[in-house]
Amino acid sequence: MNRQIVHVDLDAFFASVECLLNPSLVGKPLLVGGAPGGRGVVSAASYEARARGVRSAMPMAQALRLCPEAVRVPPRHGTYGHYSRAVMALLAEYTPVVEQVSIDEAFLDLSGTEGLHGPAEDVARAIQGRVQAEHGLPCSLGVATNKLVAKIACSQGKPRGLVVVPPGGEAAFLAPLSIESLWGVGEATGKRLRALGIDTVGDLASWTEASLRSLFGEAGTQLFRAAHGIDESPVSPDRERRSYSHERTFASDESDVAHVRRTILAMSDDLAAQLRRDGTVAQTVRLKLRSRDFTTYTRQVRLEHPTDVADEICSAATALLEENWDRRSLRLVGVGVTDLLGHGGIQLSMFDEGVQRQRRLSQALDGIRARYGHEAITRASLAGNHSGGEDDLEDEP
Ligand SMILES: [Mg+2]
């Protein structure tokens, strides 16, 4: 029996909310993100801005060079969260099996709901119409027998798309797509595949699993399965853990940039080790700052691809620090990761080569720490760490 999986993704979500709240922005190139002077990055770009080559996570200064007439607005995370919850509640009307993957993205498993709501394609169309009519937001949907193909189908239809891949049509649907459209194939892996004459998913599908394994190791099997549109990972509404975080309260209020950065690096190291231990990867990094007057704020950034590598978590958190810290003394700094994904199926643990190397090194360090204790290896850059206080590991409901 085939599964009926729907992937829903709001189109240019933050930018769409801004347009909804200020209709004079509709149709203009719009950038949501921090100011270019403060090392701001693009959190979201409207399709008019994307047409000029702007991408999310790009430095704001670069985005404004590509598209000087763009309107920039600072992000309003609380507002986006409000719309996100409303849309997720709407999705839950169709099935309890909803897996929210990020603030604006979810998988639904509609298998067995046909008697109640009709075919998955009709449900997808109804959802698209209702999200627009009731919440004023455009979204795209992909319908397929698994998460991998549903997600790619959704991205192919953007914006305002609805793409249905019939059962048995998975490999044929993927075949003409560029190799980079497979989730997890980054720039370096893409280059390596293209050097082998593999430009499309169809080209990849003509390779045997054995030959891909001999070239890419374990990732070769995942490439092989992805190329054939195979993915058995379940839609998991109740992932046990939704986030990991560490916080450090400074013994005395801290204003030394170097020390705050070292503290962030140490916490990133620990978070990455926990992710690897639990076999999961995170797509969003959060930074929490509390100044001496107890003003507390949290900022987050969505990474281009999910990670369990300390350096990637650290550089995202450090960028958030640069962007958001007004240099007032800090009582507390925290780093967290969320949008957790398993390694299987759509979450191809097949990253670019540099990242692969870092992961292997990190895994080797995990092994040494497991045998000889955490203090056995300390990063050279942490050797001068003099912070006091306790680390808290908190679990979000
Ligand atoms: Mg989106």
- Which of 51, 77, 103 lies at the terminal end of a domain, its last residue? 77
Same domain flag for 201 and 281: no
**Could you tell me if residue 180 is inside a domain?**
yes
**The pLDDT of residue 15 is above 80:** yes
Residue 52 is part of a domain; what is its CATH number?
3.40.1170.60
Distance 355 CA to ligand 1 centre (A): 25
pLDDT digits (tens, 9 = 90+) for 68-96: 999 999 988 778 888 998 999 999 999 99
Same domain flag for 317 and 184: no
Per the CB < 8 A criterion, the answer to whether 153 and 144 are in contact is: yes
Q: In the chain, where do the E strands start and end?
A: 5-10, 30-33, 42-45, 71-73, 98-102, 105-109, 139-144, 162-164, 243-254, 280-291, 296-307, 330-342, 391-393
Same domain flag for 214 and 331: no
Same domain flag for 222 and 183: yes
Same domain flag for 279 and 218: no
Same domain flag for 223 and 247: no
Distance 157 CA to ligand 1 centre (A): 12
Distance 11 CA to ligand 1 centre (A): 5
Residue 179's domain comprises 171-227
pLDDT digits (tens, 9 = 90+) for 297-307: 889 998 887 88
pTM, two decimal places:
0.66
Same domain flag for 191 and 279: no
What are the catalytic residues?
A: 105
pLDDT score of 356: 64
- Decide which of 141 and 362 is more confident: 141
Mean pLDDT of all residues in 266-274:
88
> 């999961």: which residue's tokens?
280
**The pLDDT of residue 391 is above 50:** no
Same domain flag for 248 and 200: no
Distance 20 CA to ligand 1 centre (A): 16
- Looking at mean pLDDT, say which of 202-216, 292-306, 375-389 comes out highest: 202-216
- Which of 77, 99, 127 lies at the terminal end of a domain, its last residue? 77
**Could you tell me if residue 154 is inside a domain?**
no
Same domain flag for 179 and 301: no
CA atoms within 13 A on the CB side of 296: 8
Mean pLDDT of all residues in 25-43:
87
**Could you tell me if residue 6 is inside a domain?**
no
Same domain flag for 188 and 279: no
By residue count, the chain amounts to: 397
Mean pLDDT of all residues in 172-194:
88
Same domain flag for 210 and 265: no
pLDDT digits (tens, 9 = 90+) for 152-176: 999 999 999 999 999 999 999 999 9
- Decide which of 380 and 358 is more confident: 358
Mean pLDDT of all residues in 104-119:
93
**Could you tell me if residue 136 is inside a domain?**
no
Per the CB < 8 A criterion, the answer to whether 97 and 112 are in contact is: no
Nearest to 53 by CA among 41, 63, 44: 63
Per the CB < 8 A criterion, the answer to whether 193 and 180 are in contact is: no
pLDDT score of 236: 85
Phi and psi at residue 167, to the nearest 5°: -55, 135
Distance 344 CA to ligand 1 centre (A): 22
**Could you tell me if residue 327 is inside a domain?**
yes
**Could you tell me if residue 367 is inside a domain?**
yes
Residue 247 is part of a domain; what is its CATH number?
3.30.1490.100
**Could you tell me if residue 127 is inside a domain?**
no
Distance 114 CA to ligand 1 centre (A): 27
pLDDT score of 349: 40
Helix (H) or strand (E) holding 182: none
**The pLDDT of residue 386 is above 80:** no
Distance 12 CA to ligand 1 centre (A): 5
- Which of 34, 49, 77 lies at the terminal end of a domain, its last residue? 77
Residues with CB under 5 A from ligand 1 (ion): 9-10, 13, 104
pLDDT score of 42: 87
pLDDT score of 378: 61
Distance 208 CA to ligand 1 centre (A): 34
- Decide which of 365 and 48 is more confident: 48
Residue 203 is part of a domain; what is its CATH number?
1.10.150.20
Distance 217 CA to ligand 1 centre (A): 32
**Could you tell me if residue 255 is inside a domain?**
yes
What total of structural domains would you count in the chain? 3
Mean pLDDT score across all residues of the chain: 85
Distance 81 CA to ligand 1 centre (A): 13
Same domain flag for 207 and 311: no
Mean pLDDT of all residues in 235-251:
77
Per the CB < 8 A criterion, the answer to whether 394 and 298 are in contact is: no
